[in-house]
Amino acid sequence: MPNEITDIFVEDYLDGNGSRNYQNLWFFSEKYIMESKSFISTDDFDITPIKSKIEYVRVRKQYYDIGHTTEKSRLNLEFGMDTKAGGDVKASKENCEYLWKIATKYVYHNLKK
């Protein structure tokens, strides 16, 4: 990656039985996002520039208030870029707080002006 990785996020979700599943691994730097899809079982990576490229953001949350999580908390961050790349990132329980920090630090900060 051309510049230093400053944050890593492990995407997770709860299945119908309430078991936690880890899906994708995300790496963030000032100018790039890299995703490792299904990182537990495959080697499938992509990287894209993020600096001032975000055109669309959607946040969906359930049982989550910023700063307060419960066992039922869920957060979904969806974003699209002018390069046609994008992401759909999920979090559950206390991981919602980490995803919210990623959203504010990298996604909202890089909305096109």
Residue with the bigger pLDDT between 44 and 9: it is 9
Q: Looking at the whole model, is its pTM more than 0.85?
A: yes
Distance CA 77, CA 91 (A): 9
Three-state SS at 107: helix
Distance CA 35, CA 26 (A): 5
Does residue 110 have a pLDDT over 90?
A: yes
Quick: pLDDT tens for 36-78.
Answer: 988 788 888 889 999 989 999 999 999 999 999 999 999 999 9
Could you give all domains of the chain from N- to C-terminal order, each with its CATH number? 7-110 (2.30.29)
Distance CA 10, CA 89 (A): 9
Quick: pLDDT tens for 73-104.
Answer: 999 999 999 999 999 999 999 999 999 999 99
Pairing label, strands 54-62, 74-81: antiparallel
